[in-house]
């Protein structure tokens, strides 16, 4: 119906454009603010066009030489910490979930369904519910302020296990039998057949888990106490010191923009992958 009535077409376009503006405008403002001096930002009205201080602000943010009263941790270093922990979390979650789903679907062992549901239910609880005991365990094991402490408690995933299980159930039984005929043992079958077939699911889950890992705030806040292990999302918060002293908003905004770039890159790169996978139908 929309195709036939020009008014409705215009209306739907207008609504969509409005939606894009609502989402994109704050990002635009952030970018603009990151290119101005901090005095220019606090003036009202704030300038709406980019200023000329782009390189200056970004280098200051990257190297931690921004001045101001908030944390001066170099953003470059924090980005590396975020990147490493997000990668460990994403890759770790995918690997563990692939193996768990493989065991659940293709093997029979006593208590199989019980374990499946037990793991599922406990993981459905948000991190915050189990955060007290988890902190104690991590601290007792001496894993505070380390990549291990940042990533291991977050590395199991119910969603990924469930998704892979559903996918594995669609793999035809005959394929497993053909592999058995060819002499492929279970791990061989897993490596040569199941994992390549799961490529699109893996790509999709990688994006989701990477962004999840990148955006982790509460857990890293508890587990890290030294500046050199802060992920960048914590860095942003700590820069906003409050109080009467001068705030370097332009540096904060530059940091925010820098923090947004890696997840955006991951989504853009992976998009090509899983659209390609969706388009090729398989038999």
- Applying CB under 8 A, which residues contact other proteins? 172, 174-175, 177-184, 188, 192-193, 196-197, 199, 280-283
DSSP string, 102-150: HHHHH---TTHHHHHHHHHHHHHS-GGGGHHHHHHHHHHTT-TTSHHHH
Q: Quick one: tokens of 48? A: 């709406």
Q: Taking CA 121 as the corner, what is the angle to CA 120 and CA 127, rounded to the nearest 5 degrees? A: 95
Q: Report in angstroms how near the CB of residue 280 gets to other proteins at its nearest.
A: 7
Closest separation between CB of residue 183 and other proteins, Å?
3
User: Which element (helix H / strand E) includes 54?
Assistant: helix 54-63
Least separation in angstroms between CB 199 and other proteins = 8
Report the nearest approach of other proteins to the CB of residue 176 (Å). 9
The token pair at 209 is 């888990």
Residue 191 DSSP symbol = I
Closest CA to 222 of 104, 113, 137: 137
Nearer to other proteins, 12 or 166 (CB): 166
Q: How far is the CB of 102 from other proteins (least distance, A)?
A: 17
Output 199 or 265, the one with its CB closest to other proteins.
Answer: 199
Q: Which C-beta is closer to other proteins: that of 192 or that of 228?
A: 192
Q: Cβ distance 218 to 266 under 8 Å? A: no
Question: Which is nearer to other proteins, 196 or 243 (by Cβ)?
Answer: 196
- Whichever of 175 and 264 has its CB closer to other proteins, that residue is 175
């Amino acid at each position: 119906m929309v195709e036939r009535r020009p008014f409705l077409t215009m209306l739907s376009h207008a609504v969509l454009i409005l939606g894009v503006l609502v989402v994109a405008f704050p990002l635009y403002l952030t970018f603009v603010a990151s290119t101005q001096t901090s005095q220019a930002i606090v003036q009202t009205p704030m300038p709406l066009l980019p200023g000329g201080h782009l390189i200056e602000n970004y280098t200051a943010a990257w190297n931690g030489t921004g001045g101001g009263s908030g944390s001066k941790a170099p953003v470059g270093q924090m980005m590396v910490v975020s990147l490493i922990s997000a990668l460990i979390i994403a890759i770790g979650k995918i690997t563990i979930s692939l193996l768990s789903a493989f065991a659940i679907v293709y093997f029979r062992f006593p208590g199989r369904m019980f374990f499946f549901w037990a793991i599922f239910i406990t993981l459905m609880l948000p991190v915050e519910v189990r955060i007290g005991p988890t902190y104690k365990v991590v601290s007792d094991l001496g894993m505070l302020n380390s990549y291990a402490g940042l990533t291991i408690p977050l590395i199991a995933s119910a969603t990924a296990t469930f998704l892979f299980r559903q996918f594995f159930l669609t793999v035809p039984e005959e394929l497993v039998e053909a592999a058995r005929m060819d002499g492929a043992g279970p791990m061989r079958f897993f490596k040569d057949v199941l994992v390549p077939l799961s490529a699109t699911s893996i790509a999709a889950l990688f994006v989701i888990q990477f962004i999840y890992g990148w955006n982790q705030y509460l857990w890293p806040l508890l587990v890290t106490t030294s500046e050199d292990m802060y992920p960048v999302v914590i860095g942003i918060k700590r820069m906003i010191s409050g109080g009467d002293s001068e705030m370097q908003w332009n540096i904060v905004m530059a940091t925010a923009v820098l923090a947004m770039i890696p997840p955006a890159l991951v989504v853009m790169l992976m998009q090509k992958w899983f659209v390609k996978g969706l388009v090729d139908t398989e038999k």
